[in-house]
Structure 1
Amino acid sequence: MKSNTHIANNVNEAKYKSRSVATSHWMILLARLGYAMKGVVYLVIGWLAVMLAIGQGGKATDQSGAIQTINNFPFGKFLLVVVAIGLLGFALWSFIQALFDTEGKGSDAKGIIGRLGYAIVGVSYAVLGYATFQIVAGTGSGGKNSTTSAQDWTAVLLKQPFGPFLVVLVGIVVLGLACYLFSKAYSAKFQSRLNLSELSAQMKKVMINLGRLGYAALGVVFAIIGIFLMVAAFQHNASKAVGLDGALKDLAHQPFGLFLLAIVALGLIAYGVYSFVEARYRRLGR
């Protein structure tokens, strides 16, 4: 009995120590850098989309395209090193959110799904951060764009038994994520994660509205991605699937498309700025 108690105490002590390391001062600083670098990426995506919408060059691109664009900036390689460190830091923090439940999601079914979402985000930003380092080292080009990746894994799923059903299921999940983002934009509950007490009421309103506009823009993008996954499933055609870059391109081809693209692009810029707000004011390490 004493042995079991001793083991349990050791396990609890190990959990406490590992959590303390995971939410240490330096880890929090790295996470804040991660939020800021995520903001840089979305600012570039949004700016390029705005330029496309107003006929001043630009392009519809995604995270990997933004990284390649940054590489062409003056001192681009140096900037990419900082961006890569930040993205990997954001990935690591996402894993910490999933493992140690720093956001208080809980261990019920809903909480597990939320924490799994953080883990998926962590994987995606780890891949992006690694691809960024490859560009810096000259050993890679930044990886595939999101539309090509979406088409590749859609093709893999379609070849499986019940493949179209699996793609529809993924499409439903993506549409569910879009609805979640719209809900987040409408309710503005995300403000509870921010410590804005030192700001004036007017500045708080600006910060919150940036987040609302940003989440709404992301909701539009994911809704388009989800719809095209459905189309790919029903037509059994993986080439119909799109990623972020493909969603923006499709938006531009709709009636009043350039106007709609400009609005969504401004929303993505707002999300980029809001990511800097999170970098400074988000409560981390509960």
Structure 2
Amino acid sequence: MKAEAATLSKLSPIGMLARMGYGARALVYLTVGSLALLTATGFGGETTNSRGAVRTLAEQPFGYILLVVLVLGLVGYVTWRATQALLDTDNHGTSVKGLGVRMGLLISAAIHSALALFTAKLLLSDSGSDGGQPTWLSSEWGLWCLAGVGVGMAVAGVAHMVKGWRAGYQKFMQLPPSQVVWMQPLCRFGLVARGLVLVLMGAILVRSALVAHSSEVKGIADALNTLRDSAYGAWLLGVVATGLIAFGCYSLLEMIFRRINY
């Protein structure tokens, strides 16, 4: 513990922002997963996306403080993701695969920028308005762009599942040997579950754009609802919801044990 504290004290500003960011991501996924699990078990709750999770946090005791912490953490996460992508802190390189990973990091930064902005607006104005869909999405080329985003989501989902199955995260994390026996299965389960949700989101988005010709952007809630409405839906939703909670815990472990190469 003393060595760990010493390591944390030597973190660069970017390192501190990165760890704040992983903590913010954990808070969002723990909320989304917990609400979905309550739905699956019949104890209330609802399937929701990251913005719904932010609204739920705002409604809790000390909700204002939670949103302030979340905004700061999301800004940290965006900064870290952009740094990873642009400065290649994890040495992904300039191969096709490496550039693909770095582009994914930039997209992650953009997505979390939007979530940070939404949270800040909710914090400042107490308004939960998402705004309408951009008009260009209704055009033919806009629908093809959405389909491309869906394919990208599905590819990212498969990458998450492979990373979880092969425990590829280990080269970026230094888990304490005495705790690996429970930490490793938790990390693998969380990554596979998030990967499955991303694949479902991608498939739903592609079908929506190319088959239904709908410009409505689909998210985590739609993927969870698809599971809920399928055969054995409550069980499937329960397993995936538990996995999203595990991914939130994985994010907490990243906050503590992730190697920050900057």
1:67-146 to 2 correspondences below 5 Å? 67-138=54-125, 140-141=127-128, 143=130
Query: Does 2:237 match 1:261?
Result: yes
2:42 pairs with one of 52, 55, 80: 55
C-alpha change, 1:122 and 1:166, in structure 2 (3 Å) is: closer
Q: 1:143 Cα shift?
A: 2.9
Q: 1:239 Cα shift?
A: 6.3
2:180 pairs with one of 204, 221, 226: 204
Aligned counterpart, 1:46: 33
Q: 1:139 Cα shift?
A: 5.4
Aligned counterpart, 1:272: 248
User: SS state of the match for residue 112, structure 2?
Assistant: helix
Paired residue type of 2:151: I
2:213 pairs with one of 223, 233, 237: 237
Paired residue type of 1:250: T
The total of aligned residue pairs comes to: 253
Cα deviation digits, residues 186-238 of structure 1 (max 9, x gap): 10111111112x441xx113222111111111121112112222322442421
Q: Distance in 1 between matches of 2:28 and 2:208?
A: 28
Paired residues of 1:158 and 1:233 also in contact (CA < 8 A): no
Paired residues of 2:209 and 2:215 also in contact (CA < 8 A): no
Q: For structure 1, which segment, 220-229 or 272-281, has the greater mean C-alpha deviation from structure 2 after superposition?
A: 220-229
Paired residues of 1:37 and 1:87 also in contact (CA < 8 A): yes
C-alpha change, 1:233 and 1:83, in structure 2 (3 Å) is: closer
Q: 1:110 Cα shift?
A: 2.1
C-alpha change, 1:241 and 1:123, in structure 2 (3 Å) is: closer
Query: Does 2:262 match 1:282?
Result: no
C-alpha change, 1:119 and 1:167, in structure 2 (3 Å) is: closer
Cα deviation digits, residues 261-286 of structure 1 (max 9, x gap): 00000000000011010000000025
C-alpha change, 1:242 and 1:130, in structure 2 (3 Å) is: closer
User: SS state of the match for residue 140, structure 2?
Assistant: coil
Q: Distance in 2 between matches of 1:227 and 1:130?
A: 27
User: SS state of the match for residue 185, structure 2?
Assistant: helix
Paired residue type of 2:240: V
Q: Distance in 2 between matches of 1:177 and 1:209?
A: 21
Query: Does 2:170 match 1:194?
Result: no
Paired residues of 1:158 and 1:236 also in contact (CA < 8 A): no
Q: Distance in 1 between matches of 2:216 and 2:104?
A: 25
Cα deviation digits, residues 57-98 of structure 1 (max 9, x gap): 100011111111011111110111011100110011101101
Paired residues of 1:228 and 1:242 also in contact (CA < 8 A): yes
Q: Which has the larger radius of gyration?
A: 1
Aligned counterpart, 2:139: 159
Residue identity (%): 32
Aligned counterpart, 2:7: none
Aligned counterpart, 1:28: 15
Paired residues of 1:194 and 1:283 also in contact (CA < 8 A): yes
Q: Distance in 2 between matches of 1:96 and 1:62?
A: 26
Paired residue type of 1:99: L
* TM-score, with structure 2 as normaliser: 0.89
RMSD: 2.2
Q: Distance in 2 between matches of 1:239 and 1:128?
A: 20
List gaps (5 residues or longer) in structure 2.
1-9
Paired residue type of 1:283: R
Aligned counterpart, 2:4: none
Query: Does 2:154 match 1:175?
Result: yes
Q: Distance in 2 between matches of 1:141 and 1:135?
A: 6
